[in-house]
Every structure is written in C-alpha cells, then in structure tokens.
Amino acid sequence: MLNRFIRYIQRYKGWFGGGAAICIFLGLYTGLLASPPDYYQGELVRIMYVHVPLAHTSTLAYSVLFFGSIWYLWKRDPLVDNMCQASAGICALFTALALITGSIWAKPTWNTWWTWDPRLVSFSVLLLILGGYLMLRKLVDDPERGGRYAAILAIVGGIDLPIIKFSVEWWRTLHQPMSFSTRGVAISDDILVPLTLMSLGAWLLFAYMVMVRTQILYLTDLLQAKKGRLLSQTHFSQTSP
Amino acid sequence: MTGLYARWAIMIGGILLLATMTFQQYQRDLSTISLATVLNSPATTEPVRIQGMVKSGTLSGAVEQGQATFELIDGPTTLAVEYAGPPLENIRELKTIVLLGHLDHETKTFKAKDTALISNFGFVAAAYVIAVLSLGWAIFAMSQRVMVLFKEIKEEKLYEPEIDPLANKE
C-alpha cells in the first residue's frame, strides 16, 4: 500500500516543488520586508521565520523516518527503505540548519552561541541519531542488513521526539515555550502569516526533496542492478566456449 | 538539462530581487552612521540614525519623562546628546543605543527625538544566507544527479531488452 502511494505521489513531485518555491518566496517577502520588527527583539525576530520552520520540518522528517522504518521492518519493501534513507539524510540537513540558525539567534538574545538547555540538547541528540543511522547504512556491507539495523535504530531513536516536544514544559529552560498548543496560538497575526507561509513551504520542500532523493536511490539501485546484469552477461559470453 | 538551469535561473533571480529589496530597506530604515560622519557632514535637519555607548557619569535629566542629556562614545569620537522624546525605558550608562535625530552644528550637540533597538541585522542576514544557500545547493545537486542518472541510463542503453545468455547459447 505504502509502495503504491510512493509511486503514485512521485507523479506530482513538480507540484510539491513549485508549491514550496511559491510559499517560501512569499514567506521570505513577508518575513523580511512586510512584517514589523518585534517590540523586544527588534529585527532579530526575523530569524524565527527561518529557524522555526526548519526545526518543525526536521521533527516531521523524523516522524516519516520513524513510521517508515516500522513499515519496512514489517513488509521489507525496498522502496520504503529508500524513502527512509532519503528522509534521514534530509532530516539531518534540516536539523543541522535548525541548530545553526538557532545558535545564530541565541548569540544576540541569550548572549551565547550554545547552552546546555534541554531543548538544544535533545535536538542535538536527534542529529547524532541521524548521523548514526546514516553511518550504519554506509558501514554495513550487506545493504539489506544495514537497512534493517538502521530501521531498528530509527525506531529506538523515536523516543527523542516527545522529549524534544515537551522539553520546554518538563524542565526549566531558556527556550521559549510552545506557541501552538491546546491553550491556543500565542503569536500575533503579523508574525503568524510569514511563519505559516515559511512552515508550509518547508514542509512542501521536504516532501519534494524526499521524492527526488528516493528517485535517486531507486535509479542508482536500478543502474547498479542493470550494470551488474550486463557485466555478468559479458562475463558469461567471454568465458563460455 | 536546459529546463533545469532555466528553472534555477528564475529562482536565483527571485532570491536576488528579494535580497536587493531587503538591503534597500536596511539602508533606509536600519543602518546607522558613525559619530565622526555626523560631525563632518554638512548642516541639515534631516533625521539620521547614530549608534554609540552612553559615556559613564554623563547621564542626567528626567530619563523616565523622556528628557535627558548625556555623551555618546563611538571609538575615539564623543558627541553631546540632548534627548527629548518618548520616555527612555532601558537607557543606562555604558549601554550601546541607537538614536534618531539631527546634529545642531552651532552647538555640536545631537538633538535626539527617539531611540531604536540595535538592529543586529548581520545575524538575521547570516541565518537566511546559510539556510537558503544550503538548501538551494542540496536541491540543485539532487536535481542534477537525477538528470545525470537518467542520461547515464539512456547512454548505456540499459533499457534495451536483455538477451538471455542461455537462450543465445542454444
């Protein structure tokens, strides 16, 4: 079922890419030019329009990896494995960028590039888990076995997601509390518009990137399989009497 | 490949347009000039934005009522300031502030009528540049890789129907 969904949605890849480009362009315009500066933070609030969507998208990407890994262990579908591998790489990129932009934001507001804050630490752990996932896939010789081990790691690492989400409520933290919760939305409309546009753009961009990366992995596998078959064919014709 | 490069040219054009507009807005609304530049500029009542540190021991007046005098330091240059405007909430000695106003060339005193937060726009620009360039480069590299893979498959004629070697042998 998931295999068919992945194949089906690949047809609309361009729509996701186009939608992401439009949303991000509008988001950048409203975020950098149209929205007012914050009363306390001044112009620095504009970093939020790039940092928060990156951070949200990296947790979304890890959720895709988490559920995809469960599905892969259950069905052993190589296309789902490709999608998981694609999600992991892109999630690592988004997580690293969220940490870098967060650090840039922290310097003028907290007067430090880094602090051992629960949100920051749990988010960094996510990057370490993703690094481990990608290394496992590279280091294990048998790709099928590597995929299986990596899927187990991704499922175990899923424990970090609720820790990231609730770290600002469970522990004393410098990081601001949740802005979207059951208690409502604690953001003014001026800020909400660019933030929503950029978040939507980042989600669509992630979907587009996963589709392209899955396609690359699929085509690489196909090429290798075909080349291998041709090589064996050549070898057979050379060695046969 | 041409379609890919055309799409990217449009996107880079859009990003450059936004960057130019942002820079213009920064120049118009946020950038500050040095105290030395203000002192050496011709007499004008056009408001300018200056940034400097309040010199220790010079702050006096009813700060909470929006009336204050102090000296501002920017490197080796010192400038006397007379502030009359909205109440100053967070002003204190040795604090770096941004003031809006004009220079009275006769008394060499800066007549300030408002303050602003330090823009720190370098941090904002750094965050955007790093995010946009990294993501842009990653997507471009992936799109190019897909094209190369398709080309490779096409050139290698790997889609040609394969001949069963065992069937050939017979």
Contact A97, A105 (CB under 8 A): no
Task: Report pLDDT for A4.
Answer: 78
Helices and strands, counts by H and E, chain B: 4, 5
B131 CB within 8 Å of a chain A CB: yes
B148 CB within 8 Å of a chain A CB: no
Determine the Cα–Cα distance for residues A136 and A149; give it in Å rounded to an integer. Answer: 7
Contact A187, A38 (CB under 8 A): no
Return residues 56-115 of B near A (CB < 8 Å). none
Contact A13, A211 (CB under 8 A): yes
Residue B170: is its pLDDT beyond 50?
Answer: no
Nearest-CA distance from B106 to chain A in Å?
34
Task: Report pLDDT for A241.
Answer: 47
Q: Do B158 and A223 touch (CB under 8 A)?
A: yes
- Find the mean pLDDT for residues B57-77: 86
Contact A168, A176 (CB under 8 A): yes
Task: Report pLDDT for A144.
Answer: 87
A34 CB within 8 Å of a chain B CB: no
Cα within 13 Å of Cα(B79), Cβ side = 29
B30 CB within 8 Å of a chain A CB: yes
Nearest CA in chain A to B150: A219
Residue B107: is its pLDDT beyond 80?
Answer: yes
A230 CB within 8 Å of a chain B CB: yes
Give strand pairing partners of B111: B82, B102
- Find the mean pLDDT for residues B74-89: 86
A 10 A CB-CB count for A73 gives 16
Q: Do B124 and A46 touch (CB under 8 A)?
A: yes
- Reported as a single tens digit per residue, the pLDDT across A175-232 is 777 666 666 666 778 888 999 999 999 999 999 999 999 999 988 888 887 777 655 5
- Find the mean pLDDT for residues B52-74: 86
- CB contacts < 8 A (A, B): 107
**Single-letter code of the amino acid located at A46:** R
Chain B residues with beta carbon closer than 8 angstroms to that of A205 = 135, 139
Q: How far is CA A123 from the centre of its chain?
A: 12
Cβ within 8 Å of residue B93, ≥6 positions away: B54, B55, B56, B57, B58, B59, B70
* Residue among B114, B128, B133, B153 with most chain A CBs within 10 A, to mutate: B128
* Residue among B7, B120, B121, B163 with most chain A CBs within 10 A, to mutate: B120
Tokens of A87: 């999600």
Return residues 192-221 of A near B (CB < 8 Å). 205, 208-209, 212-213, 215-216, 219-220
Nearest-CA distance from B93 to chain A in Å?
19
Chain B residues with beta carbon closer than 8 angstroms to that of A42 = 116-120
Determine the Cα–Cα distance for residues A175 and A191; give it in Å rounded to an integer. Answer: 18
Percent of chain B with pLDDT over 90: 22
Which residue among B21, B127, B163 sits closest to A47, beta carbon to beta carbon? B127
B6 CB within 8 Å of a chain A CB: no
Q: Residue ranges of chain A with pLDDT lower than 70?
A: 1, 178-186, 229-241
Task: Report pLDDT for B88.
Answer: 78
Determine the Cα–Cα distance for residues A13 and A19; give it in Å rounded to an integer. Answer: 10
Percent of chain A with pLDDT over 70: 90
Give strand pairing partners of B33: B50
Which residue among A21, A33, A213 sits closest to B25, beta carbon to beta carbon? A33
Determine the Cα–Cα distance for residues A21 and A32; give it in Å rounded to an integer. Answer: 16
Nearest CA in chain B to A38: B117
Task: Report pLDDT for B130.
Answer: 95
What is the ipTM metric for this complex? 0.86
Task: Report pLDDT for A238.
Answer: 52
Cα angle value B115/B118/B122 (rounded, 5°): 150
Nearest-CA distance from B107 to chain A in Å?
32
Which H or E element spans position B68?
Answer: strand B67-74
Tokens of A220: 């690489």
What's the alpha-carbon Rg for chain A, to the nearest Å? 21
A22 CB within 8 Å of a chain B CB: no
Determine the Cα–Cα distance for residues B127 and A199; give it in Å rounded to an integer. Answer: 16
Q: Which of A97-111, B13-27, B107-121 has the lowest mean pLDDT?
A: B107-121
Q: Confirm whether pTM is higher than 0.95.
A: no
Task: Report pLDDT for A237.
Answer: 55
Nearest-CA distance from A233 to chain B in Å?
7
Percent of chain B with pLDDT over 70: 91
